[in-house]
Structure 1
């Protein structure tokens, strides 16, 4: 229906011209439309991120891991996870972590990172650049039952041969990274230790004091 202007319906002449067009014209037009659609689809596929390309192989705990455990191949499994969601320091090489000691509790399915394992990266993250991890055997093992990884402590020393000597502070602001587990069978031996992270000079002082003096901790 016309309304003060040209009609939107094709005229009789236009319809006749379209009807008289040879069949190959319609076929060529359809092919061109299909080819254009394929080009657009190819472009969209190229712009779309490849799900496999955005994933990375990482190691996750196959079961709950306790502090002090030396990792074996049965303790971890490989998963392919989205790279954008992985934490910094995620580990992906089994050979690099096999035999490493777990520094804290790890839940099943948790991605293993460098700071979950004893090593230079853990020391650096805990106590700064050039830090060291030093084992401390305490005069009183009962203290080990009340400290946990992450606690900040001061370390005191007193000569074994001088019962009346005043203890002296040999290191401050040490960060506990691991407390050895209580042995399953009572042995009577004082073989439990606490590992602490300290700057290199302080760590060396503690290690030297442990050779000749009894050590203990105070908690912050």
Structure 2
């Protein structure tokens, strides 16, 4: 009986010792637990990233836009976007686009870039060099504009006034960057085609368009 009491006494003593172990031991355990939690939290933040810090403002279309439209403030809005998704040449302020002409159709919400608008960046991108120019022409056969599309490659030719005059190629591999919208109603205007060309060819085509009709052949 005495031995049993000794065993029980030791058991209760062990339990009491565990409950009354030194404070430094409990503190060490708490520190280790806290350190583990902080490591997991840091890993989570690293994976998630700071979304607000990664976002930048970009100009997007506030509505569907048609080619040839001159942009006004109501056509645009500023939208925050993850920096990793922003395309090259994206505009960051509406003032960079207002008053400029849209070169191609754009859907609502689409990011507006420098090559979406008529200008030197579009011309340079279209001809593959810094000396690009954009030239407006009107075609001798207006119905051809119905089949022209932005991005088409065409050769530009003079059209002789009579059969004795041979057509002459003024420029090769011009890039169509804009075809004005077809208007409805009686008072329809001639549609304009905008071509991107190197500076020398652009000057030749621009001069020829003032004195005679022009035609294009498709590549």
- Determine the structure 2 residue equivalent to 1:91: 91
Of 99-108 and 134-143, the range deviating more from structure 2: 134-143
Task: Find the residue that maps to 2:135 and give its secondary structure.
Answer: strand
Q: CA deviation at 1:133?
A: 0.7
- Determine the structure 2 residue equivalent to 1:122: 122
Cα deviation, 1:84-134, whole Å, max 9, x if unaligned, reads: 122222222111011111111111221112221111111111111111110
Distance, in Å, in 1 between the alignment partners of 2:146 and 2:41 is: 64
- Normalised by the length of structure 2, the TM-score is 0.81
RMSD value, Cα: 2.7
Task: Find the residue that maps to 1:166 and give its secondary structure.
Answer: coil
Cα deviation, 1:44-92, whole Å, max 9, x if unaligned, reads: 4664521112222112212111101111111122211222122222222
Task: Find the residue that maps to 2:123 and give its secondary structure.
Answer: helix
Task: Give aligned pairs, total.
Answer: 207
Residue 78 of structure 2 contacts residue 93 of structure 2 at CA under 8 Å; is this kept in 1? no
- Determine the structure 2 residue equivalent to 1:52: 52
- Determine the structure 2 residue equivalent to 1:202: 201
- Determine the structure 1 residue equivalent to 2:140: 139
Q: CA deviation at 1:136?
A: 0.8
Higher helix proportion (structure 1 or 2): 2
Give matches, 1:136-175, under 5 Å.
Answer: 136-158=137-159, 164-175=164-175
Distance, in Å, in 2 between the alignment partners of 1:21 and 1:206 is: 95
- Determine the structure 1 residue equivalent to 2:178: 178
Give matches, 1:1-150, under 5 Å.
Answer: 15=15, 17-21=17-21, 24-25=23-24, 28-29=27-28, 31-33=30-32, 35-37=34-36, 39-40=38-39, 43-44=42-43, 47-48=46-47, 49-129=49-129, 130-150=131-151
Of 135-144 and 196-205, the range deviating more from structure 2: 135-144
- Normalised by the length of structure 1, the TM-score is 0.81
Of 59-68 and 77-86, the range deviating more from structure 2: 77-86
Task: Find the residue that maps to 2:174 and give its secondary structure.
Answer: strand
Aligned in 2, Cα 1:17/1:175: closer, same or farther, shift over 3 Å? Answer: same
Q: CA deviation at 1:201?
A: 0.9
Task: Find the residue that maps to 1:196 and give its secondary structure.
Answer: strand
Task: Find the residue that maps to 2:156 and give its secondary structure.
Answer: strand
Asked if 1:217 corresponds to 2:219, the answer is: no
- In the alignment, structure 2 segments of 5+ residues that lack a partner are 1-9
